[in-house]
Amino acid sequence: MRDLLREVLEANRRIPVAGLATLTWGNVSGVDRGAGVYVIKPSGVPYHRLDEESLVTVEIETGRVVGGTLRPSVDSETHRLLYQAFPAIGGITHTHSTHAVAFAQAGRDIPVLGTTHADNFDGPIPCTRDLTPAECETDYERNTGLAILDALDGDCASVPAVLAAGHGPFTWGATATASLETAIVCEAVAEIAIHTLALNPAATPPEHLIRRHYRRKHGPGAYYGNAGPRRTSEEDPE
Amino acid sequence: MRDLLREVLEANRRIPVAGLATLTWGNVSGVDRGAGVYVIKPSGVPYHRLDEESLVTVEIETGRVVGGTLRPSVDSETHRLLYQAFPAIGGITHTHSTHAVAFAQAGRDIPVLGTTHADNFDGPIPCTRDLTPAECETDYERNTGLAILDALDGDCASVPAVLAAGHGPFTWGATATASLETAIVCEAVAEIAIHTLALNPAATPPEHLIRRHYRRKHGPGAYYGNAGPRRTSEEDPE
Amino acid sequence: MRDLLREVLEANRRIPVAGLATLTWGNVSGVDRGAGVYVIKPSGVPYHRLDEESLVTVEIETGRVVGGTLRPSVDSETHRLLYQAFPAIGGITHTHSTHAVAFAQAGRDIPVLGTTHADNFDGPIPCTRDLTPAECETDYERNTGLAILDALDGDCASVPAVLAAGHGPFTWGATATASLETAIVCEAVAEIAIHTLALNPAATPPEHLIRRHYRRKHGPGAYYGNAGPRRTSEEDPE
Amino acid sequence: MRDLLREVLEANRRIPVAGLATLTWGNVSGVDRGAGVYVIKPSGVPYHRLDEESLVTVEIETGRVVGGTLRPSVDSETHRLLYQAFPAIGGITHTHSTHAVAFAQAGRDIPVLGTTHADNFDGPIPCTRDLTPAECETDYERNTGLAILDALDGDCASVPAVLAAGHGPFTWGATATASLETAIVCEAVAEIAIHTLALNPAATPPEHLIRRHYRRKHGPGAYYGNAGPRRTSEEDPE
């Protein structure tokens, strides 16, 4: 549990360092499946004041705060729904990174435009549908999670990222660190995509190139990396 | 008063650190309502040479310099008019940040394109009308303030930022620090907006999503943050 | 002379720090009118290896190297011509800064789109005509200077910057430091201009606003700054 | 050999410092022609964990790993083919730098738009043809190299850079350091090109200006730099 607190703290601190958000924006959480809890950034605390004591521990089943003295991030219920829906998820990151948010605000998926994307995501990063007025009125954060589930259609593995329409990216992975690194990748491919579309609005890489790159790093025939059958937190394009 | 000097000094020093201006551009002021004065950056002094002694104290009522040996920022009269018009304002920041200035030069409001904006501003950040030749000729800085008042229409609370047409952003808040942080947010939403409009010139988030986000953080039902009923300097989107 | 070497060294070192160029690109020079010489960056030396000993001293009248053991910047003859043509110039900076070079490559003047520009330049930053094949063949660097003179039409004071077509910006001022700071401003206004034109291709601020801002800082009625009748190295918009 | 390891290590560490890639992306290699080997970054190791021990030594002739305990970069076979095809190449860099990748994803050459480009490259930086499905299926990395050879048409000297279509830039030079610095230049000219094309889609500098700049720095009449007849790792525009 001490390890989880340290990892979540460090992953949160990497958000501003990686240029993914400023002030108090963004949040990372990490899960302890054995204890049935996740640890998340508190609401409204700037990154330079974060410490392990300020982190908040929440029960996955009930949403009850079981550790820490502060209130959890307002987005906590979105995290919780994703942890409930996908047992394989060990960490979740939400940011307001510039270019990924631009796609979210434009209501557009981030398309697969090259190998940097395909090294990490097996398809476009989807943008959710808009929420209805009723979904915004009550249980908004939980409904944001439900719209994300709609966009994922039961599969959290092939594309570990989504854009909440009009809002911004959520990413996940086996650990809090992995989810943060996927947030870095998501912003990078969004920025490259914006420039690509400006240079060539019809850009579309051959499907066989895209397949090849994804399979270099993911699945049974993967040959990328140096840590046994598969590396988790370093599985980025080279 | 010593505390105010220190806060205004630190807020000014954050301008270049946050990438909002270079050289001597930009200025922050903070007010002491009890003493009827505000403290502001001196004119033409680069940030690395600023210290408490170089700051200038100005009487709100008269504009008379009552502390410090240097001349105040040339924009001081704009600050003074805003302090006179809105007793709730405790600090004001003016920057030449790249993307907010681009909107000001384009003569366009920064539209509400998503939740990053709505978390902070209850509507578009308005761009003022152009000043007339007569308004530019005499009392230019005071007339800049009057054009800002026209754009705000009596309400400084719902959108604590404005773009002086052809010039750049002014932001404010309960304290000098809060005004500086709003300047950071203003630049961030401007940059995201430029990319959003390039991806989708017709982007418009649902009004109910925007309402929801503003109300998560502002007003009686707000549930964002960790400091009692309402937090001031950390009220940024998460 | 020792002071001049130190100033030129420091101004050159600020080029990469200010993000105006990388590797060995760009160069700053400063003049000693009494001695009839200028000091300039050596050719092809990266910034982190620059020291006072590596700087090169050149005679304005003849172009002869009279100090230092290295060859001067290949652009030295362009600097020399400007020093000959304009006795008021005390320092010159040439960079390959991203957005100013984009205007130079596009063959477009940087237009006056707002007060950030008008605080520093009394008109557009002109882009020179293209050089002829003959001008490129012989005495290319001197001919670059002549094309700059054509663009300036005898006036180096109102707009202390120019874009060599297809190449990049040259800026100048009373000192090497002033020329470097004008290069920083030139890049900043170029970047803001690109975003402004994307938001509003027809953006044009009122002429009376532009006049007013230039006159706040320049000429007999100027009231900006804190150092006597006029400040040199800090005359930037606030 | 110790020197080569140190140089390759340092060049790899400059990739994230120069902003050319993040996490584990990108790789630099350097060659020892006498020993018939090259040294390359291991696969999937983040830059802050790289040390000389983690580097991998590969035989040029066979592709056999002859030094180090980790697997080489997945792109190693592309490096190897280039070393085999061009005996003059001493170092190779591959990055995922934002703007160069945007051109690669757009399937466009980086055109010669000005002197910053011409100072370094004697023509456009070509984008390769797309690979066929068969080329992606088997020996993908070697086939990437073959497509690069097609694009170069036997000449690795005049333009020491290429864009692998849909993927990203490969650059080379006499040393690992030179190849890394060419990667920096490639990204810089790509970024400037994107802004230039936005300002003027038809921008085309006069051919005689371009010729002149390339010849200032390359070939028998070159007069740039300070190290004898020709300098290698510092041959960048000034």
Cβ contact B166–C206 (<8 Å): yes
> Which uninterrupted H or E stretch holds B14?
helix B2-17
**Chains touching chain B, criterion 3+ CB pairs below 8 Å:** A, C
In this structure, is residue C118 part of a structural domain? yes
Q: Find where tokens 């070509």 sit.
A: D126
Sheet containing B37-40: give its strands across: B65-67, B56-59, B37-40, B27-32, B91-94, B168-173, B161-164
Decide if pLDDT at B43 tops 60.
Answer: yes
- At A180 the three-state DSSP class reads helix
Amino acid found at D13? R
pLDDT at D1: 77
Measured between beta carbons, the chain B residues lying within 8 angstroms of C227 are 44
Q: Could you tell me which of A120, A116, A127, A126 has the C-alpha nearest to residue A205? A: A116
Chain B residue whose CA is closest to C215:
B137
Cβ contact A238–D136 (<8 Å): no
Average pLDDT over residues D73-100: 98
Residues of chain B above pLDDT 70, percent:
95
Eight-class DSSP state of B200: -
pLDDT in tens, B2-41: 899 999 999 999 999 999 999 999 999 999 999 999 999 9
In this structure, is residue B120 part of a structural domain? yes
Which two tokens mark A190? Answer: 């969004």
Tell me how far CA of residue C154 lies from CA of A117, C108, C124, C150, C182, in angstroms. Answer: 54, 20, 15, 8, 19
d(CA D41, CA D28): 6
- At C74 the three-state DSSP class reads coil
In this structure, is residue B69 part of a structural domain? yes
Query: Residue B20: phi, psi to the nearest 5?
Result: -90, -15
Helices (H) and strands (E) in chain C, counts: 8, 7
Cβ contact B198–C198 (<8 Å): yes
pLDDT in tens, C135-177: 999 999 999 999 999 999 999 999 999 999 999 999 999 999 9
Decide if pLDDT at C234 tops 50.
Answer: no
In this structure, is residue B210 part of a structural domain? no
pLDDT in tens, C197-230: 999 999 999 999 999 999 999 999 899 998 743 3
Decide if pLDDT at D29 tops 60.
Answer: yes
Q: Mind telling me how many Å the CA of D21 is from chain A's nearest CA? A: 9
Cβ contact A212–D168 (<8 Å): no
Which two tokens mark B205? Answer: 């988030």
d(CA A165, CA A148): 9
Give residue B18's Cα distance to chain centre. Answer: 14
In contact, A56 and A68? CB cutoff 8 Å: yes
In contact, D112 and D205? CB cutoff 8 Å: yes
In this structure, is residue B223 part of a structural domain? no
d(CA C171, CA C174): 11
Catalytic residue ranges of A: 119, 224
pLDDT in tens, A57-90: 999 999 999 999 999 999 999 999 999 999 999 9
In this structure, is residue D228 part of a structural domain? no
In this structure, is residue D101 part of a structural domain? yes
**Domains in chain D: how many in total?**
1
Average pLDDT over residues D54-80: 98
Mutation for C interface: B20, B24, B125, most C CBs within 10 A: B24
pLDDT at A2: 83
Residue A56's domain comprises 2-217
Strand partners, C28: C93
pLDDT at D236: 40
pLDDT at A1: 77
pLDDT at D238: 44
pLDDT at A231: 35
Chain C residue whose CA is closest to B41:
C238
CATH classification of the domain holding C143: 3.40.225.10
Q: What is the pTM of this model?
A: 0.94
pLDDT at D2: 83
Q: Among A44, A105, A167, select the one facing B203 at the smallest CB separation.
A: A105
Chain D residue whose CA is closest to C190:
D195
- At A238 the three-state DSSP class reads coil
> Which string of DSSP letters, residue by residue, matches A86-116?
-TT--EEEE---HHHHHHHHHT--B---SHH
Catalytic residue ranges of B: 119, 224
d(CA A151, CA A164): 9
- State the ipTM, two decimals: 0.93
- At A211 the three-state DSSP class reads helix
Chain B residue whose CA is closest to A191:
B195
Buried b (16+ CB within 10 A) or exposed e, A177-187: bbbbbbbbbbb
In this structure, is residue B222 part of a structural domain? no
Measured between beta carbons, the chain C residues lying within 8 angstroms of B140 are 212, 216
pLDDT in tens, C63-83: 999 999 999 999 999 999 999
Decide if pLDDT at A159 tops 80.
Answer: yes
Give residue B219's Cα distance to chain centre. Answer: 21
In contact, A9 and A52? CB cutoff 8 Å: yes
d(CA D37, CA D58): 5
How many Cβ atoms from other residues are within 10 Å of residue D233's Cβ? 21
**Chains touching chain C, criterion 3+ CB pairs below 8 Å:** B, D
